Amino acid sequence: MKFQVLVLGTNAALPLKGKITSAQILNADDNLYLLDCGEGTQMKIEQYRIKRNRIKAVFISHLHGDHCYGLPGLLTSLSHHHRKTPLHIFGPAGIRSFVEVVLECSNAYLGFEIHIHETDTTQHSKIYEDQHIEVFTIPLLHRVPTCGYLIRQRIRGRNLKEDAIREYHLTIPQIKQAKKGEDIQTATGIIPNAQLTKEPQKPRSYAYCTDTVYHPEMIPLIKDVDVLYHETTYLDDLESEAAARMHSTISQAARIAAAANAGRLLAGHFSGRYADVRVFEHAGKALFANILAAEEGLVVDI
Amino acid sequence: MKFQVLVLGTNAALPLKGKITSAQILNADDNLYLLDCGEGTQMKIEQYRIKRNRIKAVFISHLHGDHCYGLPGLLTSLSHHHRKTPLHIFGPAGIRSFVEVVLECSNAYLGFEIHIHETDTTQHSKIYEDQHIEVFTIPLLHRVPTCGYLIRQRIRGRNLKEDAIREYHLTIPQIKQAKKGEDIQTATGIIPNAQLTKEPQKPRSYAYCTDTVYHPEMIPLIKDVDVLYHETTYLDDLESEAAARMHSTISQAARIAAAANAGRLLAGHFSGRYADVRVFEHAGKALFANILAAEEGLVVDI
């Protein structure tokens, strides 16, 4: 089962040299979810040939422009692309008036429904689920109400042993029963479920945490996450600037990843002053070995 | 004196293949004016190394997203680039709440003043002047209140005859007098102004007319304009679609240019269905010979 993230943009504050601000696509078995939507996100969606009408929901971390100014243009372009299926949009209080006022000022009539959900950024709670994923808010600490999102795969039923299924020539209804863990009655006797299925794969999880000052309160909420995206606007020499602007340094992000026992740290939301963001991988590895600097176009299997 | 336009984007409705929607920079002696501001305008401003802090005013034709969704991001990025000088923003009624609500929702504090002027799109009137240009609205007819902009150079004083100025060793105050048309008193006698100056160059003018259905009422307002930018969303075979969506075809734009005795027609705002926009030049030339299809990066001396 596919569970991966594609980085569309990771610049802090403003686009630079063709790179945009925050946006990522989470892909769960070809069901797509957009995390943040900086200006130019729709151009990157076109550039990377993302099937835009497969985007089921948008999750906005906070309403600073570098995380949401691309949303109105994405919505009107989805409409130009004949989208008919509803779209769910999650974000902190204010996202409703942002979207609605912009669409109203620009006289934009969308050919599909949008459902805007204002999230309580102070609570850790489940805000979304469908067949493929469930999504929980992660309270963060920034200059405006902000939350991260923990996205967990939903694994339905046990995993089939393909060889056994073929051997016993099971029907579709029987296969469905087996996935639920039931024994199967056939003409020749009962097949114990253990012969047909095995324990399902552990659901994988991704935590998207931007923007935030160093905030250890998030650690228990993201415990054992497979991949943690954590903002690292600055290297450690600018720790006081990070604190003043309520951003994090690479060491702070690495400390969070280590304490949460994350599988991997995806670092991003880099200040424009860093020409080569690989420096973040080196700078953090004493505290947490498995760091990857997010760059546009990067695909990470979770 | 430099008077030229740089095309930043000319796509109708939505960005495609790295090309953005409407935006142009008018350059009057290195004083810059932005005409429309589709999503991604700030990226093009960076790409073309435009001195963004020289932008004195922004003129928005109408509030459809493909003409204004780049404005909030441009403003916040100007602030990140330490702009201190005020910026004037002109556009139809609604532009104030568009800008103010977006900035407020996103908690954006600009480091410079903005002065928002809501223009009466039904009137032809002067809305702006500085030392370099004067700007008049041109009522257009579209699905929402829309106006074009006529931008005329301001030529101050007569043109100096450089040789004569050198020959007579005039002082700066004397040169200023001569530019005003006065004769100059020197120790050896009076120099008639005609020996020092000549008639100034005729002020050049540019008309930016997008979006609009075929609207001949604009013709007297743009009479003898040097360059007319007129939207040509479609070729002639889609004339009924143009009418239904209140856009123009290439022949309609060419007819306007011919009737207005324009020096040149810059065609733009092309539907995404046209891969090679040169077809517009060929399609219109029977009605108006001097047509140029606007493409990103094109600089037109006016």
Query: DSSP for B44-63?
Result: HHHHTT--GGGEEEEE-S--
Residue-wise burial string across A244-272, b where 16 or more C-beta atoms lie within 10 A, e elsewhere: ebbbbbbbbbbbbbbbbebebbbbbbbbe
Position A291 scores a pLDDT of: 98
Tokens of A292: 């990857």
- Does one domain contain both A43 and A174? no
Please give the sequence-ordered ranges of beta strands (E in DSSP) within B110-263, or none if there are none. 114-119, 126-129, 133-139, 147-153, 159-160, 184-186, 189-191, 197-198, 205-209, 227-231
Q: For residue A232, which of A215, A247, A216, A217 has the smallest C-alpha distance? A: A247
- Does one domain contain both A170 and A240? no
pLDDT tens for A53-78 read: 999 999 999 999 999 999 999 999 99
With 90 as the cut, is the pLDDT of residue A156 above it? no
Beta-carbon neighbour count of residue B189 at 10 Å? 7
Measured at the CA of A247, the angle between CA B51 and CA A289, to 5 degrees, comes to 110
- Does one domain contain both B16 and B165? no
User: What's the sign of the alpha-carbon dihedral A134, A143, A248, A48?
Assistant: positive
What residue numbers bound the domain in which B165 lies? Answer: 159-198
Residue-wise burial string across A194-227, b where 16 or more C-beta atoms lie within 10 A, e elsewhere: eebbeeeeeebbbbbbbbbbbbeebbebbeebbb
- Going by pLDDT thresholds of 50, 70 and 90, the confidence category of residue A114 is very high
Tokens of B127: 């809305």
With 90 as the cut, is the pLDDT of residue A265 above it? yes
- Does one domain contain both A248 and A296? yes
The CA distance from A256 to the nearest CA of chain B, in Å, is 27
Evaluate whether ipTM surpasses 0.90: yes
- Does one domain contain both A131 and A7? yes
Q: Which of B46, B96, B105 to mutate to test the interface with A (most CBs of A within 10 A)?
A: B105
A130 is an active site residue: no
Q: For residue B145, which of A106, A99, A75 has the smallest C-alpha distance? A: A106
Chain A residues whose C-beta sits inside 8 Å of any chain B C-beta: 13-18, 20, 39-40, 42-43, 46-47, 63-66, 68-70, 72-73, 76-77, 80, 94-95, 97-98, 101-102, 105-108, 143-144
- Does one domain contain both A242 and A135? yes
- Does one domain contain both A33 and A179? no
Mean pLDDT, chain A, as a whole number? 96
pLDDT tens for B86-105 read: 999 999 999 999 999 999 99
With 90 as the cut, is the pLDDT of residue A7 above it? yes
- In this structure, of A165-174, A203-212, B219-228, the range with the lowest mean pLDDT score is A165-174
Position B165 scores a pLDDT of: 84
SS3 state of residue B257: helix
The CA distance from B105 to the nearest CA of chain A, in Å, is 6
The arithmetic mean of pLDDT across residues A269-287, rounded, is 96
Return the CA Rg of chain A. Answer: 21
With 90 as the cut, is the pLDDT of residue B109 above it? yes
More confident residue, B279 or B162: B279
User: What total number of domains does chain A contain?
Assistant: 2
The arithmetic mean of pLDDT across residues B110-126, rounded, is 98
pLDDT tens for A247-264 read: 999 999 999 999 999 999
Reported as type and span, the H/E element at residue B71 is: helix B71-80
**Which residues in A lie closer than 8 A to residue B16 (C-beta atoms)?**
46
Amino acid residing at A122: T
Beta-carbon neighbour count of residue A1 at 10 Å? 12
Position A160 scores a pLDDT of: 86
What is this structure's pTM? 0.93
With 90 as the cut, is the pLDDT of residue A120 above it? yes
With 90 as the cut, is the pLDDT of residue A170 above it? no
Residue-wise burial string across B55-87, b where 16 or more C-beta atoms lie within 10 A, e elsewhere: bbbbbbbbbbbbbbbbbbbbbbbbbeeebeeeb
What is the rounded distance in angstroms from the CA atom of residue A194 to the CA atom of residue A126?
A: 33
Name every residue whose Cβ is closer than 8 Å to that of residue B189 and which is 6 or more positions away in sequence: none
- Does one domain contain both B139 and B165? no
Contact state of A65 with B72 under an 8 Å Cβ cutoff: yes
With 90 as the cut, is the pLDDT of residue A171 above it? no
Contact state of A43 with B40 under an 8 Å Cβ cutoff: yes
**Which residues in B lie closer than 8 A to residue A95 (C-beta atoms)?**
105
What is the rounded distance in angstroms from the CA atom of residue B205 to the CA atom of residue B185?
A: 36
The CA distance from A43 to the nearest CA of chain B, in Å, is 7
The CA distance from A250 to the nearest CA of chain B, in Å, is 23
Identify the residue whose tokens are 């923007």: A211
- Does one domain contain both A163 and A186? yes
- Does one domain contain both A193 and A268? no
Question: B29 with B155: CB under 8 angstroms?
Answer: no
Position B169 scores a pLDDT of: 87
A16, A70, A102: residue with CB nearest B46: A16
Q: What is the CATH number of the domain that holds A91?
A: 3.60.15.10
Position B158 scores a pLDDT of: 85
Out of B29, B36, B66, B301, the active site residue is B66
Position B170 scores a pLDDT of: 87
What is the rounded distance in angstroms from the CA atom of residue A278 to the CA atom of residue A291?
A: 10
- Going by pLDDT thresholds of 50, 70 and 90, the confidence category of residue B166 is confident
**Which residues in B lie closer than 8 A to residue A98 (C-beta atoms)?**
101-102, 105-106
- Does one domain contain both A7 and A142? yes
Contact state of A14 with B80 under an 8 Å Cβ cutoff: yes
Mean pLDDT, chain B, as a whole number? 96
Contact state of A77 with B15 under an 8 Å Cβ cutoff: yes
With 90 as the cut, is the pLDDT of residue A153 above it? yes
- Does one domain contain both B26 and B65? yes
